[in-house]
Amino acid sequence: MLIEYLGHSAFLVTHDKYSLLFDPFLSGNSLAAKKPEELNPTHILVSHGHSDHIGDTVEIAKKNNSIVYSTFEITEMVSKEGIKVQSGNIGGKISTEFGSVKYFRAIHSSGVPGGIACSFIVEIGDNKIFFAGDTALFYDMKLLEAEKIDLALLPIGSVFTMGIDDAVKAVEFISPKTVIPMHYNTFPAIKQDPYEFKKMVEKDLNTKVIVLDPGQSVNY
Ligand code: NI
Ligand code: MN
């Protein structure tokens, strides 16, 4: 499985013939590693409706016939554009061609009337990924420990999401094998040192932190 960090909370996860694009905020992000037209994902997962997450979803999905996974309010909205969608909501687990997608909580707003933000637990190949989206720290993250998460993608930027201290606590609750931090340094308000986060996690917890710059990738 190849994990490519595209900047902010955007990741491309590729395994076999499947490529999953998470929260593709590329246009309008000067640090984004790719342009929308460079991507051809089979699936796009959208955690919530804020523009720094739904981003270029419509354009990319239209061009590539990608299936968009999101909560009901967002799939309703984008399906009007003629896009293929798979709707779900918190607690639901959907079997897919590549494994499964389970919708989990996030403590955050969505930017779409009536909608709420979510996170995703994704099984792909032999790996289980937790993509947190935008969220505060919340104690129900402790439930993820039983999911035996291999890789957690967690925001550390503060102001709009968890900051470093709370994200370290989230790692303790989730207990994943590996963490990649996201949602920091895109703009001044969310400036953070990811290596400080790495140092704090690896000092006390049995989890490895991989810091990626936009455009960098790791084989997992
Ligand atoms: Ni947000
Ligand atoms: Mn955000």
Going from the Cα of 125 to the center of ligand 2, the distance in angstroms, rounded, reads 28
Predicted pLDDT of residue 113: 78
Going from the Cα of 3 to the center of ligand 2, the distance in angstroms, rounded, reads 20
Going from the Cα of 50 to the center of ligand 1, the distance in angstroms, rounded, reads 5
Going from the Cα of 80 to the center of ligand 1, the distance in angstroms, rounded, reads 22
Going from the Cα of 52 to the center of ligand 2, the distance in angstroms, rounded, reads 5
Going from the Cα of 27 to the center of ligand 2, the distance in angstroms, rounded, reads 14
Predicted pLDDT of residue 111: 85
Residue 59, SS3 per DSSP = helix
Going from the Cα of 132 to the center of ligand 1, the distance in angstroms, rounded, reads 11
Beta carbons of 144 and 104 less than 8 angstroms apart: yes
Spatial distance between the Cα atoms of 80 and 19, rounded to a whole number of angstroms: 24
- The 8-class DSSP code of residue 205 comes to S
Going from the Cα of 123 to the center of ligand 1, the distance in angstroms, rounded, reads 24
Where does residue 59 fall: left (phi above 0), alpha (psi -120 to 50 degrees), or beta otherwise? alpha
pLDDT per residue of the chain (220 residues) written in tens, 0 to 9:
999 999 999 999 999 999 999 999 999 999 999 999 999 999 999 999 999 999 999 999 999 999 999 999 999 999 999 999 999 999 999 999 999 999 999 999 998 877 899 999 999 999 999 999 999 999 999 999 999 999 999 999 999 999 999 999 999 999 999 999 999 999 999 999 999 999 999 999 999 999 999 999 999 9
Residues surrounding ion ligand 1 at CB below 5 Å: 50, 134
| Tokens describing residue 119 | 């996170």
Cα dihedral 129, 133, 134, 140 sign: negative
Cα three-residue angle 77-132-2, rounded to 5 degrees: 95
pTM of the model: 0.98
Predicted pLDDT of residue 30: 96
- Ligand at shortest distance from the CA of 108: 1
Beta carbons of 71 and 53 less than 8 angstroms apart: no
Provide the pairing of β-strand 2-7 with 208-209: unpaired
Going from the Cα of 162 to the center of ligand 1, the distance in angstroms, rounded, reads 11
Going from the Cα of 49 to the center of ligand 1, the distance in angstroms, rounded, reads 7
Spatial distance between the Cα atoms of 199 and 25, rounded to a whole number of angstroms: 28
Spatial distance between the Cα atoms of 191 and 13, rounded to a whole number of angstroms: 25
